[in-house]
Amino acid sequence: MIYREIGTSGVRLSLRGLGGHEYLADGRLRGFQEDFPRAITPGHVFAGFGQEPRRRVLKLAYDSGINFYDATQDSEKEALGRNLREMPPPFEAYVQTRPEAMMYDRDPGNRKMAEYPLLKAEVERILKLMRRERLDFLNLGITPDALKDSGYLARLRSTIERLKADGLVRLASADTFRGESVYLSMIASGAFDTIFINLNVGDDAGRGKVIPAARAAGMAVVAREAFMKGELFKMGAEVRLTDRAKLARAALKWLLAVPELTSAVVGAAEPEHLAGALGVVANPQPTSEDQTILERLKSSPLFQAYQAQRRREFLE
């Protein structure tokens, strides 16, 4: 495994991180695509997360040196915390997660996150749920509406600094689904240690200004959505790229070749899926076959529409 350090924090993340999503038999996401309103409700935990299939994935992750784990909904948080206690890794594991009912468009103007008592109470709730003493990475996602308040980011920075001083949070991650200007404002605020960003062969607009700005500020770059939430394979099928393993390998090699990348969070339903991705980490150099696959992928009308939409949304 390759490890990359985050500034002077002393934290070294594995190049490959593991996402917390679990999957239904038909490939849909557990929780989110079963009952979305309940999945994002603080305190709601679906039954069945973190069972034997997930433990097998975690065992391989440990054996391969993956030390970075992301969790989203409370069901994933609870399962990850339980699994880490029941089967502790042989090294320090870093956990990233996020507050519920505060991120993105779930709270108008993301006002709650900038209020120290409210965010502290949410962090303490998460720590109790996961049975951990500190969050390694607190991921905070805001919308452009938050920035209409000129003092918002200063208050958010103060809140983050207080949570760090309390020993509740180690590092903070900047996140948004609303584009370049929001990321650049978050980076310039000095409140964050990392960015968490969509980055893949069809969604790469962040390489223009955002990722260089983050690295110039000494921040880590953590990527997600390597496979475009599964859309990659629909695009491939459209242009007769039917070997999903080869297509996934080419897409992941593209991502790992981004020089500013610190870690890529990728999910895995089965140990075999994780093993394939780990093979890319061991041998990340793209081959001529990988390049041919990606060139063919780019001829897909689905790919072209996806890329155009993502670039437009990111830059608007």
* pLDDT digit string (tens) for the chain, length 316 residues: 889 999 888 999 999 999 999 988 888 889 998 999 999 999 999 999 999 999 999 999 999 999 999 999 999 999 999 999 999 999 999 999 999 999 998 999 999 999 999 999 999 999 999 999 999 999 999 999 999 999 999 999 999 999 999 999 999 999 998 889 999 999 999 999 999 999 999 999 999 999 999 999 999 999 999 999 889 999 999 999 999 989 999 999 999 999 999 999 988 888 888 887 787 877 778 899 999 999 999 999 999 999 999 999 999 8
Closest of 252, 181, 254 to residue 213, by C-alpha? 181
Taking residue 282's Cβ as centre, other Cβ atoms within 10 Å add up to: 9
Give the whole-angstrom CA distance, residue 23 versus residue 82.
18
The pTM score is 0.93
CA distance 238 to 132: 45
**Which of 85, 108, 175, 181 has the alpha carbon at shortest distance from 138?**
175
Structure tokens that stand for 316 in this block: 């608007």
User: Which pair of tokens denotes residue 226?
Assistant: 């390597």
**What radius of gyration, in Å, describes the C-alpha atoms of the chain?**
19
